[in-house]
Chain A
Amino acid sequence: MTLVNLTVNGQERECDVPDGTLLVHLLRDHLGMTGTHVGCDTSQCGACTVILNGEAVKSCTILAASVGNAELQTVEGLAEGDSLHDVQTAFRTHHGLQCGFCTPGMIMAAVNMIDRHKGQLDETLVRHDLEGNLCRCTGYHNIVKAILSAAETYRARHQAAMAQG
C-alpha cells in the first residue's frame, strides 16, 4: 500500500491505496469522484483525461502511487456552484456532446489545450491537439467549434484583464 497525498480541485486529499492502483481508480473508487470516465482502458480514448500539474494526461495509464504531492484538476472542479466553466458553456452552446461519455475527457483536454496555447488556437491546431480524445457520436465538428469558441472567450477575458491592469 502507498499513502498518496494529492491536491484534487484545490482540496488536499489523502488515500492509502494498493501500489497497482491507477489514478483513475483512485478518483473513482477511493474518492468517489466518478466524473472522470474509463472508456477504452487501452490508453486511446481520453475519456479519463485529467490535468496533472498543469498537463493533460490519461489517468487510466498512470499509477496513483507515482503522483504523490501532485496538483490534480478533474471535471468536477470546473464549475463554480451553478456557474459553468467557459468550456462547459461552449460545449452546451455548440452541442459539443451527444451521449456525453467522452465529454469529461474532452472538456479537460480542451481546458488544458486553451491554457497551454493561451487561447491562440485555430481549427488545425485544435484537431491535432485533440487526437488523444475519441468521440463516437458527434463527428468532432461541434467539439472543435466549442473549443474555438471557448478559446475566443479566454482571449477576451485576458484582454479585459490586461486592460484593467
Chain B
Amino acid sequence: MYLYDTTYLRPGSIDEAKALYDAGESPAFLSGGHTLLPAMKGHLARHDRLIDIRRIPELQGIAEDESYLTIGAATRHCDVAAAPVVRNCIPALAGMVGTIGDVQVRHVGTIGGSLANNDPAADYPSAALALDAIFRTDQRTLTAEEYFQGLYTTALEPGELLVSVSFRKPEHAGYAKFRNPASRYALAAAFVAVHADGVRVAITGAGNDGVYRWHEAESALGHKFESESLDPLRADMENMSSDMHANAEYRAELVKFCTQKAVTNQNCITLL
C-alpha cells in the first residue's frame, strides 16, 4: 500500500517542530512510525505533513538521578532494553521493553511513540502507571494518572510534544504478560512495583478503558506482599474488555494470574 501524498520534515529543535506543526493543515509528529505509518498505509489516516522529531536533542537519552530514571521520548525500544542504567535500576522495565513487538520493531519504535499512542494492549503504559511516571511535554508536566485518559487517548493536546518520561525508581518491580499467540500483544499483563510508600499494580491489555490501576490488589499486597494475598480477589468484570480473542471472564482470570506471577517473579519479566 502507498501513502497519500505527504511532506516529510525533519526539524532540529522543539521550537522548529512546533512551528512546522502549526503551519500544517493536518500535521502529525513522526517518531518510529510503527503505528502511524501502518495507519497511513491502510488509508486510515491522512496527514499533509509528517514532522520527524527523532533528531531533536531534548528527546534523546537516558539519565538517572536519586529518585527517577528519565528516558527521552525519541529513545528506541532496543536502546532502552539494552541500556545498563535501565537494567540495573529497573530490571523489569528493561525486560519488558525487550518484549515489545519484535526485533525489527524494537530497532525503530520509540517510548514516546508508544506512550503517545496509548494502545490499550501496549506494554509501556502499564510500566508508566505502576512506576508513577512523570510526563514532560514542551508545555507542562503531567502525572501518569493525569496523562492516560482511556483507549488511544492521552492528555496531550494537538501539537503538544512529549519530551521525556521519568519513571520513579521502585524498591523492586516485576512484569508478567500473557500474549495473544497470534499478534503477541498482551491479552492481559500486570506491572507490579513496590515503592517505599506502597505497592502499585497497573494492568494493560485487559481493561475496556485502557491501562488502569488495580487498587484492590494494591491494598492486598500492601498488607502482605505475596501472590496468595490475591487469592480471594477477582478483577472487576465491569472493567474487562471482551472480544473475539478473550471474553471478559477469561481476561479477569488472566489479570489475576499475571498479577500473581509478577508478584512472585520480581526484578524480572514473566512471559505466559
Contact = CB atoms under 8 A, between A and B. Distances in A.
Interface of A: 2, 18-22, 25, 41-44, 46, 49, 52, 55-58, 60-63, 65-66, 109, 112-113, 129, 131-133
A67 to B, nearest CB: 10
Given A42-B38, A43-B38, A66-B52, A19 B104 contact: no
B272 interface: no
The size bracket of the interface on B is 20 to 34
A75 to B, nearest CB: 15
Contacts of A109: 103-104
Contact of B2 (A25, A57, A66, A113): A25
A61 B33 contact: yes
Nearest to B47: A20
Interface in B1-56: 1-8, 10, 30, 33-34, 37-38, 40-42, 50, 52, 54
Given A42-B38, A63-B8, A66-B8, A20 B3 contact: yes
Interface in B92-132: 101-105, 107-108
A60 B2 CA distance: 10
A2 B102 contact: no
Contacts of A133: 102
Contacts of A55: 78, 107
A58 to B, nearest CB: 5
Interface string B45-69: 0000010101000000000000000
Interface of B: 1-8, 10, 30, 33-34, 37-38, 40-42, 50, 52, 54, 78, 101-105, 107-108, 183-184
A63 B50 contact: yes
B86 to A, nearest CB: 18
A contacts with B: majority SS: mixed
B contacts with A: majority SS: loop
A152 B207 CA distance: 45
Given A55-B78, A55-B107, A57-B104, A63 B7 contact: no
Contacts of B10: 66
Contact of B8 (A2, A58, A61, A113): A2
The 9 closest A-B pairs by CB, nearest first: A132-B102, A20-B3, A19-B8, A65-B8, A131-B102, A55-B107, A132-B104, A20-B6, A58-B104
Contacts of B40: 20
